[in-house]
Amino acid sequence: MKQTTRESMTLGIDDQISLLATMTAEFANTLNVDETLLRTLPQITDYLKAEGAAVFLMDEATQVISCVACHGATEITGLTLEYGQGIVGKCVATNTGALVRDVNDHPDFYGAIDDQTGFVTRSILCAPLSVKDRCVGAIELVNKRNPDDLFEDNDLKILETLAASAALAVLNARMATALVEQERVKRELELAAEIQRRFLPEAGTGDTLTAPITGINKAARGVSGDFFDYFTLPDGRIYFGLGDVSGKGINAALLMSKTASLFRCLGKTVRDPGKLLGRINAELCETAAHGMFVTMACGIYDPREGCEGLIRLANAGHEPVLLYRDGAFSTYEAGGPPLGIVPPLPGENGAYEEVQIFPNGGSLYIYTDGLTEGYTETGAPLEDTGVQEILERHKDLSLQDQLKHLVAAVFHPGMKLRDDVTVLALTDGLRPADKTASPALSPSLRVDDESDGDWLIDFKFPAQPSWMKLARACVREACLKVGCDKTMTNDVVLAVDEACQNVIRHAYGGPSDEEIELSVRHRPARLIFRLRDFAPLVEPSKIKPRDLEDIRPGGLGTHLIKEVMDEVQYLRPTQGEGNLLKLVKHIHISKD
């Protein structure tokens, strides 16, 4: 005699509790839910006397429903359904169970699976895997093993109870996986931030002990899209740069790292800030992600004696650079577009415009828009006027303290920065100590320690014949300025031109992108010319003019220089490598 539904429930309650307890224990002791479902699915199938069972989980991002485990007469692991497709999809979409005694009479039955597998589905029992209103999948049972027996309402209730336990395990596992992933991302961001910090000069060590330059960077997030850097060239000049990458997050940080690396690497050989920005721009245009760019300002500061603290500056789409001198501010606008937008034309070097600045004891400030657009305590942006007010108020403090006050204006405890804040400052008048020991000098190679008098020319140009026309024009202008007559002027121009040509031909071995530095100073009754190159050191004893009786073409330039100039001295630069030629011309200006 067939037992009633009530009798079946009474007789099976112990088994039901036992199965639920077993599943709960299984799920509590593992995060591999798929494997646990695969182990417990046969128990559910046997308990409810079904021919087969399957577990479907939904990808909450794509809403694709996939079979992750099955048991019974057919194998459908990996089968996917669209959201709402079939009885399983409808169960997930509505978050309600389904008892279908005859699938042929049900409109949601998806018969394609039977067509693919050859299995014949007669009835289906399906319960959602859900916790409250969140559904992550479903458990499906097919066909009671006794064809004359059908799934009952109590079967659905039992399956829903078991499914609730499985759903809780699935959600816990997903949360645990998400936490692990968040912790991994956090660690990677911390590592990325540490790597970025290593790109920045470390305050108080290395060159920064004596260099008249410093900077500060505050990231709005874990990683920054801003950077600054500076380093000392072999000749004693200081290269500096500051950049701001568009966008936020990892992409901006990666582009920042690449730009900072290019600046330091290329800056060791490209000694023109405008050309350096052009080279960086060409590289970024080839590889930067679409829509991303870098605003950047960079320059070379010459703190050497006699160079008047000259700054050569180039600006690629960055905020105006600020100079504070004698109680007044001057600004230097961008001379070209940001880096990574406009590639150079074929055959062009893409160099950016340069400006020359003589700070005369003043200070130069470069900062990102995170400072000017940052919110003050009043809730208003700081803007350029706020920056100038802070610098004016704290002008007597050290550079580092000035920068701390600037950052403090937009960085408040308990509040996040609106954007990355980076500031670089340089002050004129401090001279970095020479940390390299000078090699022994031969008796004929002296260091020039004579004061040079009034500045007339400081001209740096590539060792290329095409630049000689401009060099000659500069020398001519200097001679005429101090009252030299036409004959003397022509002789001096010719002698200096010959000296420059010798540098190109003999020091560099031909035209070169390396630099020649030409300076002219005026002292009472004389002009002093200095010609500096960066080629290997030349022993003056090896520089001998050819015999005048030798009538071969060329080789008489040294005679010309000595004939025109009153003094010719081969010196060693006070810092760095290279050769220094000092020429002195006595001038007697008539008072008539």
Dihedral sign for Cα 101, 103, 107, 113, please. Answer: positive
Strand partners for 229? 241
Give 386's Cβ-side CA count (13 Å radius): 20
Q: Does the domain at residues 5-176 carry the CATH identifier 3.20.20.70?
A: no
Distances (CA, A) of 37 to 14, 24, 103, 203: 21, 11, 26, 57
**Structural class in CATH, domain 213-427:** alpha beta
Range scoring the smallest mean pLDDT among 25-39, 251-265, 378-392, 456-470: 25-39
Mean pLDDT of 209-214: 68
User: pLDDT tens digits for 510-554?
Assistant: 998 888 989 888 888 889 999 999 888 776 655 555 444 444 444
| Strand ranges across the sheet with 454-462 | 446-447, 567-572, 579-586, 526-533, 515-523, 454-462
Q: What is the dihedral of CA 43, 47, 49, 54, to 10 degrees?
A: -40
Name residue 305's amino acid: E
Strand partners for 227? 243
Gap between the Cα atoms of 101 and 516, Å rounded = 95
Mean pLDDT, the chain, integer? 81
* SS3 annotation, 155-204: HHHHHHHHHHHHHHHHHHHHHHHHHHHHHHHHHHHHHHHHHHHHHCCCCC
User: pLDDT tens digits for 249-261?
Assistant: 778 888 888 899 9
Dihedral sign for Cα 390, 394, 395, 399, please. Answer: negative
* Paired sense of beta strands 311-316 and 65-72, if any: unpaired
Q: What is the DSSP string of 430-454?
A: ------SPPPPPPTT-EEP-----E
Global pTM? 0.52
For residues 297 and 315, the answer to whether their CB atoms sit within 8 Å is yes
Query: Has residue 235 got a pLDDT over 50?
Result: yes
Strand partners for 84? none
Highest-confidence segment of 217-226, 293-302, 455-464: 293-302
Distances (CA, A) of 364 to 263, 320, 433, 444: 19, 11, 21, 40
For residues 245 and 292, the answer to whether their CB atoms sit within 8 Å is yes
Q: What is the DSSP string of 105-117?
A: G-TT--THHHHHH
User: pLDDT tens digits for 409-431?
Assistant: 998 876 778 888 999 999 986 54
Q: Which CATH number fits domain 446-586: 3.30.565.10, 3.40.50.410, 1.10.240.10, 3.30.1450.10?
A: 3.30.565.10
Mean pLDDT of 35-43: 77
* Kind and range of the H or E run holding 386: helix 383-393
Fold identical between 5-176 and 446-586?
A: no
**What's the distance, Cα to Cα, between the start and end of the chain in Å?**
144
| Category of 59 on φ-ψ map: left (φ > 0), alpha (ψ -120 to 50) or beta | beta
For residues 226 and 253, the answer to whether their CB atoms sit within 8 Å is no
For residues 435 and 575, the answer to whether their CB atoms sit within 8 Å is no
* SS3 annotation, 115-159: HHHCCCCCCEEEEEEEECCEEEEEEEEEEECCCCCCCCHHHHHHH
Domain boundaries, the chain: 5-176, 213-427, 446-586
Mean pLDDT of 226-239: 88
For residues 406 and 218, the answer to whether their CB atoms sit within 8 Å is no
Gap between the Cα atoms of 491 and 544, Å rounded = 21
Q: Is 539 exposed, middle or buried (0-12, 13-18, 19+ CB in 10 A)?
A: exposed
Please state the length of the chain. Answer: 592
Tokens of 166: 């499985």
> How does residue 242 score in pLDDT terms, banded at 50, 70 and 90?
very high
User: pLDDT tens digits for 165-208?
Assistant: 788 777 777 777 777 777 776 675 566 556 656 667 765 443 44
Query: Has residue 347 got a pLDDT over 80?
Result: no
**Would you state the pLDDT for residue 208?**
40
Tokens of 216: 């500060």
Range scoring the smallest mean pLDDT among 2-11, 44-53, 111-120, 492-501: 2-11
